[in-house]
Amino acid sequence: MRVAPKEIQTFRDDFTYSNSPQAIERFPFPFPTDEYRYSVNIEPHLPKGGEGSAYEKFLDIDEHYLSEMVERDLVLKAMPDRCLSMPHMDLACWDMIERCMVSLAEDYPDYFRLERNGDHWTWDNRLLNQKDSFVFGDSSSLPLPPLEYIGRQLQGDFAILDQRDGDLFMDAGIVTCPADWSIAFDQGMSFAEWHGPVPMAHQEGVFERALKYLTAIQVGKPVRRLNWTLTINARMDTSPETYHEWGCDRTTVTPENIAGKVYLRVELQVLDRMPRSNALMFSIRTYLMSLEDICTNPEWARRLHRVMKTLPEPLIEYKGLSRYHDMLVQHLSQFDRAN
């Protein structure tokens, strides 16, 4: 499916978000086996799955582009500190501008155009009817700070990780649709510190191996992985700052509404080395799919049942599934008669 952004839908209040049949087909289903355990599930970020796949381009733009840009604007107006950058990360932010603009212009020429004449650049985003000329590296020539400027034109969240002393530090980011974490809280933290709440993986050495791998990523060789959780309603912003708005949603799930109420939330996470700053750009592209839509694919429905049935208790608790996990397994069992 080629990009065809549709009318603006909402990720809050009346939740008008929905997926077309094409969006369901290209959904990055995260479970390759019948059991889920934490692992260093990293692979090169190369095209995969053919034309229209979520893995086809470096940055995936889909039918929800306009809706996500409206949602990002709402979050940043209410909480500007969801976009932050430490002073030493300025060069890395310009690295990100170049990487993203070049990629979008090459991959989606109908929607994005970039003209470069030395340091004088002109960027044309036809989806947002936005055209700007600026001097590359001169923040004063942009209408917004560099990270916010480019971040407001990209689907998904972005963190920029500074690498020093063999470790990674979350020193910049624009994060408006997180799954229960906060860039304002995690800013400046090391790799081990911001992964502190994750159960089980530490004792298995997963994060130690992952850090060693990530600090060795080379320029021009990005890598990706999938992460997942479940969320109630098609809500993008499930941050600690807005917990008072969504925390009680888990108590509203019933056997009658579970198919439309519970969403599988998948993050396509990409890490890419920046050439000037040596920082890592960490993109977190979020996809939402209701159980009802997931179960239109019989193979996915069976696999999800088996994964949920065998999920370890610490992961059930960590991912916030405790209140409705048994109900979920019971609902999915109807799609897995062989089990």
Tell me the pairing of strands 130-135 and 167-174. unpaired
Q: Which helix (H) or strand (E) holds 98?
A: helix 90-107
Q: Is there a contact between 232 and 262 (Cβ–Cβ < 8 Å)?
A: yes
User: Is the residue at 16 inside a domain?
Assistant: no
Residue 252: half-sphere exposure toward Cβ, Cα within 13 Å: 11
Is 225 labeled as catalytic in the residue annotation? Answer: yes
Strand partners, 228: 266
d(CA 245, CA 74): 15
User: Is the residue at 9 inside a domain?
Assistant: no
d(CA 133, CA 286): 30
Q: Which amino acid is at 207?
A: F
In whole angstroms, how large is the CA radius of gyration of the chain?
A: 20
Using the structure block, give the residue that is written with the tokens 């969320």.
231
Q: State the first-to-last Cα distance of the chain, in angstroms, to the nearest integer.
A: 34
Low-confidence stretches of the chain (pLDDT beneath 50): 1
Task: Look at residue 231 in the predicted model and tell me its pLDDT.
Answer: 97
Q: What is the pTM of this model?
A: 0.95
Buried b (16+ CB within 10 A) or exposed e, 109-143: eebbbbeeeeeebebbbebeeeeeebebeeeeebe
Q: Fill in the DSSP letter of residue 184.
A: H
User: Is the residue at 15 inside a domain?
Assistant: no
Name the token pair of 284: 């977190």
d(CA 131, CA 335): 49
Q: Catalytic pick from 37, 113, 209, 225?
A: 225
Task: Look at residue 1 in the predicted model and tell me its pLDDT.
Answer: 44
Nearest alpha carbon to residue 264 among 296, 216, 219: 296
> How far, CA to CA in Å, does 224 sit from each of 2, 23, 40, 266?
21, 20, 10, 13
User: Is the residue at 3 inside a domain?
Assistant: no
- What's the domain range around 299? 21-333
User: Is the residue at 229 inside a domain?
Assistant: yes
Find the angle CA(265)-CA(52)-CA(10) to the nearest 5 degrees.
40
User: Is the residue at 80 inside a domain?
Assistant: yes
Locate the DSSP E strands across 186-311: 223-232, 262-273, 280-290
What 3-state class would DSSP assign to 187? coil
Task: Look at residue 41 in the predicted model and tell me its pLDDT.
Answer: 83
User: Is the residue at 14 inside a domain?
Assistant: no
Q: For 31-72, write each residue's pLDDT tens digit.
A: 999 999 877 689 999 999 999 999 999 999 999 999 999 999
Buried b (16+ CB within 10 A) or exposed e, 276-294: ebebbbbbbbbbbbbbebb
Q: For 68-110, write each residue's pLDDT tens digit.
A: 999 999 999 999 999 999 999 999 999 999 999 999 999 999 9
Q: Fill in the DSSP letter of residue 4.
A: -
User: Is the residue at 160 inside a domain?
Assistant: yes
Q: What is the number of domains present in the chain?
A: 1
